[in-house]
Chains A and B, each alone.
Chain A
């Protein structure tokens, strides 16, 4: 199974940042979602960030909230998400990070969750509503199962806390570029650049940036600041929402968009 370390060190050698698209698993249904994720891989995704839909996603803006609702209506649940990941890995071995809410893990059983999802091919679990203060509730079973840890840093995180977060991280630091929830933004947050530079000065672990990254230029700016990866969520999820009646259109549009971002990341 491909590790974050392999992927990020390869990319560092190439001088390129990782392209990391985000999808809600099962949006709008199992089969369409699988097709979309495969298309994103074929368009050059280096890592995948996948969400298991939750009824009360407090860190998410309207676009991903609606995707959660679609996926849940389409019958997605934790068990099926595990099958979904197995099928993605059959298409290609690329690292997968989960981004989700704590209650789903609690109810599945933390140890069992880590074991089952690692076996299915997941590299890390980022719990949106679990901070490093309580992270040990999941870190111990996650490590035992072989999962890497990923935590968030935000523009208002104090420097000392950043260090603590980086110290607990074995996968990558998920840098939230703005104060707010997920969602497309016209302009990239002005905080992103400084935050990446600060983190790069603090830690050796890869630093990836997400939330509000919506355009190829945004990705380029983040890469120029020294980030190891860019995570693009809402912009892609909105493309699914805009073509619910014609999923093939969504596949084409997402492919075209990711190819463009990939190009922007490659250009020196």
Chain B
């Protein structure tokens, strides 16, 4: 490998030997094509005309009134497929094509990355196989259906808790026996090197645009940038634009589940300790022996016991701060945003919003907060209805 893939002590490539040559090939291809003019032009064209970039930065006036400071939403929810995931799948999908690979595999939690990969598989005419935990297949059935419509095969993974980590395990296992023609399109800024770097690269358009839009629309940089953190791809994507702007606070919001104190959550940075999972050293939710523990969150996309290695470094250096948002607050916030802005946020992204709402009245009125609205919530309507039925008398006011 040319680079160590380290973010401080975090990251690296802790994988079985059989995957080393494959990751080397990927690193080399990424180093080459990410600066290739033809590749860049083709990706740029697809980002514009297929995915819908650039996405707007929207000043949410009613939400701003509600919380007492200025909230701007980076509208990744408007992208094709309904989430930021397409930024990464277009980039990696094109990389796969340039490498001469003919098949794509991917893991998925909420189904958003699986869907975004299936779309690109269809677009590029590549056979696509999506690994998804059985629990997630059940709670995200609409996305499963969409993936199949795009021609992908969806493999329901039985192992473990049937969630994202188990889907990653099985995708990695499958990859080891299909290394020659198959490209593993990893969905988040985690996993072994070079994935954290590749995913950040393709997601950093979010931060680059948001920074420019702030300067254009507001005439200055924001005071705070907030994003939800599952594996950390949308967060590192938006943070990337502001890492060097030391006065911009960066806040990552993790899945607090039923509350960090209950142990039923997925807040790796808030409550975990460093360890090695899925090829990288990073903060992890684990027991005293180092066995990975079950996570819980109302949002499938954040239901992951690990986190991308760069976030671990940003936490330790203090450049970014990570906080949890609990399921109950997230569900309340989902209701709030839909009612006052007419925007259905993905439950993942709603975590970021829930934290912003928790700051109500605590910031000066001219404070500018950018929230990365990583995806839209159509996929979550059924889950929200289960927890907050419309006919519920509590909500009838």
Residues of A within 8 A of B (CB): 54-61, 65, 72, 77-79, 101-108, 128-131, 133-134, 151-158, 161, 165, 176, 178-181
Q: Which 6 A-B pairs have the closest CB atoms?
A: A107-B290, A180-B177, A154-B18, A152-B17, A103-B290, A59-B16
Q: How far is the CB of B186 from chain A (nearest CB, A)?
A: 13
Query: Which residues on B sit within 8 Å (CB–CB) of A179?
Result: 18, 176-177, 179
Q: Given known contacts A56-B165, A156-B21, A157-B21, is B16 in contact with A129 (CB within 8 Å)?
A: yes
Stretch at the interface among B79-87, B207-215, B237-245, B271-279: B271-279
- B177→A129 contact, CB < 8 A: no
Instruction: Tell me the bound Cα distance from A181 to B169 in angstroms.
Output: 11
Q: Given known contacts A56-B165, A56-B292, A103-B286, is B13 in contact with A133 (CB within 8 Å)?
A: yes
Query: Which residues on B sit within 8 Å (CB–CB) of A176?
Result: 17-18
For the complex with contacts A54-B290, A103-B276, A156-B179, 6 further pairs of A-B residues with Cβ separation under 8 Å are A56-B169, A59-B16, A103-B284, A104-B290, A106-B274, A156-B22
Query: Which residues on A sit within 8 Å (CB–CB) of B288?
Result: 107
Instruction: Tell me the bound Cα distance from A107 to B177 in angstroms.
Output: 30
Q: How far is the CB of A146 from chain B (nearest CB, A)?
A: 23
- The dominant DSSP class at the A interface is loop
Counting CB contacts under 8 A, is B29 at the interface?
A: no
Question: 1/0 per position for B267-310, CB-CB distance to A under 8 A?
Answer: 00000001111110000101011111100000000000000000
Instruction: Tell me the bound Cα distance from A82 to B159 in angstroms.
Output: 27
Counting CB contacts under 8 A, is B1 at the interface?
A: yes
Chain A residue at smallest Cβ distance from B173: A181
Q: How far is the CB of B44 from chain A (nearest CB, A)?
A: 34
Counting CB contacts under 8 A, is B15 at the interface?
A: yes
Considering the complex, which residues of chain B in the window 154-183 have a beta carbon less than 8 Å from any beta carbon of chain A? 159-160, 165, 169, 172-173, 176-177, 179
22 inter-chain pairs at a CB distance below 8 angstroms, sorted by A residue, are: A54-B290, A55-B160, A55-B291, A56-B278, A58-B15, A65-B159, A72-B291, A77-B289, A103-B275, A103-B290, A104-B291, A107-B275, A107-B286, A107-B288, A108-B289, A129-B276, A129-B279, A156-B21, A157-B17, A179-B18, A179-B177, A181-B173
Q: How far is the CB of B313 from chain A (nearest CB, A)?
A: 17
Q: How far is the CB of A251 from chain B (nearest CB, A)?
A: 28
Instruction: Tell me the bound Cα distance from A181 to B22 in angstroms.
Output: 15
- A61→B289 contact, CB < 8 A: no
Counting CB contacts under 8 A, is B20 at the interface?
A: yes
Instruction: Tell me the bound Cα distance from A55 to B279 in angstroms.
Output: 14
Query: Which residues on B sit within 8 Å (CB–CB) of A78?
Result: 289-290
Counting CB contacts under 8 A, is B12 at the interface?
A: yes
